[in-house]
Amino acid sequence: MQESLIVRLRALSERAQEVARELEQPETARDTQRLTQLSREYNRLAPAARALEEYERLGSERAETERLAHDADPDMAELADNERHRIDARRDELESELIAALIPPDPDDERNLFLEIRAGTGGDEAALFAGDLFRMYTRYAEARGWQLDIVSASEGEVGGFKEIISRVSGHNVFARLKYESGTHRVQRVPRTESQGRIHTSACTVAVLPEVEAAEEVAINPSELRVDTYRASGAGGQHVNRTDSAVRITHLPTGLVVECQDERSQHQNKARAMSLLQARLLADERERQTAEQTANRRLQVGSGDRSERIRTYNFPQGRITDHRIGLTLYQLDDVLEGKLDAVIDPLVAAAREDELARLAQ
C-alpha cells in the first residue's frame, strides 16, 4: 500500500483514539447530541483503526517469515513460506478494507428520510404504478425493521396514488434508499387496456434526508401560509370531523407541504414543518453543488417516460437499472420488497466510483 495512504490511515486511527477519550469524559455523557455524534464517528473509525493495527503487525511478522524462509532447515523454510502466503492473503483483504475506510462518509447515511412518490406520465396507470412502488418500499421497510409513516396521500381515481409522501425511520435508511431518487418507468398492459397493448408510464421518487435541529433552515414565520382542513381517508374517528390536517405554503419558494396522518393539528403541523425543512435543505444543497454534480443518481427527473433510472418490464418479468446497466429477471421478487438485489449493486458501484476517484 502507498505510504501516503498509510499516513492518512494513521491519522484516522489517531482520531479514533481521540474520540474514544472524549467519549469517556463525564461532560460528554451529559450532552446527548455530542454523545450521539461522537458515537457515530467512533463506530465508523474504530474498525479501520483495528484493521490498520493488524495490517502493520502482519507486516512485521512477514519480515520475520521472509528471513526464516531462507533457513537451512528445509522443513522450517517450508513452514515459513506457507505462513508468508497466509500473511500476504490476509494483508490483501485488510488493504481493501483500509482503502474503503478512506472514502469520505455521506453525513446523511444514518438519517431518517422522507420518501415522496408522484405519478408522472401515464394518467391512471401511472397512479397505479405509484401504488405498486409504495407497496414495494413498505415491504422493504418491514423486512429491515424500519418504521414507515404516511405523511400525506392523494389517491388516484382508479386506485394507487397521484402522490404519496411518507417518513421512513430506522438504521441506515438513507444509506440504502438514497439511490432510489429519480424516474421509475413501467411497461405493462394496463387493466383498462382491452386490446392487450403494452403501455409505458412513469413515476418520480424523491428521497430527502430528514433535517436535524442543528441544521434547520431559518424560516421566517411571516413567509408561511398555514391552512387547516379536514383530513380524508384512514386515520380514526377524527377524520372528517375536525380540521386536523395542515397545509403549509412557503411563499418565497412556492413550496407546499401537507400532513393529515397524525391525530392532532399540532402534530400534523410539526410533521409538515419537518418535511418543509427537508425540502428547503435539499434545494439549498442542490443549488450549492449543481456545478460540481457529475453523478445523476440522486437527481429526480420530470416524470417523463424518456427520463428514467429504472425500468420495470412486466411482460418479460425484467427490471433494469440504467445507471449501472443492471438487468434482473426478478421483477416479482423486487416488487414484493426484495430490493437488496438492486440496491446492493448500486452501493457497490458507488463505492467503486469513490475508490477510483481516491486513486486518482
Average pLDDT, the chain: 85
Evaluate if residue 96 carries a pLDDT over 50.
yes
Examine residue 129 and state whether it is found in any structural domain, yes or no.
Answer: yes
Cell for 212? 436535524
Question: In which domain, by residue range, is 91 found?
Answer: 3-101
Overall average pLDDT of the 291-296 stretch: 39
pLDDT at 236: 44
* Any domain includes 299: no
| Pair (193, 283) in one structural domain | no
Q: Which CATH number characterizes residue 14's domain?
A: 1.20.58
89 with 9, same domain?
yes
Judged against a pLDDT cut of 70, whether residue 54 lies above it is answered with yes
Domain ends where: 101, 133, 154? 101
Same domain, 14 and 67: yes
Name which residue leads in pLDDT, 359 or 254: 254
Residue 323 has pLDDT above 80, yes or no: yes
Same domain? For 71 and 60 the reply is: yes
According to DSSP H, which parts of the chain are helical? 3-23, 26-30, 32-68, 74-101, 124-143, 173-177, 265-289, 331-335, 340-359
Dihedral (CA of 219, 225, 231, 233) sign:
negative
Residue 106 lies in a domain: no
As given in the structure block, the three cell numbers for residue 88 are 500476504
pLDDT (0 to 100) of residue 20: 94
Is residue 68 domain-shared with residue 153, that is, in the same domain?
no
pTM (2 decimals)? Answer: 0.67
Q: Which of 45, 80, 101 is the last residue of a domain?
A: 101
| 326-357 core/surface letters (b: 16 or more CB in 10 A; e: else) | beeeebeebbebebeebbebbeebbeeebeee
Q: Is residue 32 included in any domain, yes or no?
A: yes
Evaluate if residue 240 carries a pLDDT over 60: no
pLDDT confidence of residue 290: 58
Average pLDDT over residues 153-163: 93
Average confidence (pLDDT) over 58-78: 83
Residues 336 and 322 both lie in one domain: yes
Q: How far is CA 101 from CA 30, 223, 354, in A?
A: 30, 44, 11
* pLDDT, position 262: 73
Number of domains, the chain: 3
Residue 181 lies in a domain: yes
How far apart CA 230 and CA 3 sit, in angstroms, is 65
The last residue of one of the domains, among 48, 69, 101, is: 101
Residues 167 and 316 both lie in one domain: yes
Q: What is the pLDDT of residue 211?
A: 76
Co-location of 309 and 340 in the same domain: yes
CATH number at residue 163: 3.30.70.1660
* Same-domain status, 194 and 233: no
In a domain, 53, yes or no: yes
Whether residue 37 is found in the same domain as residue 173: no
Over range 150-167, report the average pLDDT. Answer: 93
Asked whether residue 127 falls in the same domain as residue 249, the answer is no
| pLDDT, greater one: 115 or 351 | 115
pLDDT of the residue at 302: 46
In a domain, 321, yes or no: yes
Q: Which residues of 87-119 are buried (b: 16+ CB within 10 A; e: fewer)?
A: beeebeebeeebbebeeeeeebebbbbbbbbbb
Q: What are phi and psi of 226, to 5 degrees?
A: -110, 120
Do 12 and 68 fall within a single domain?
Answer: yes
Residue 62 to residue 172: CA distance in whole angstroms: 38
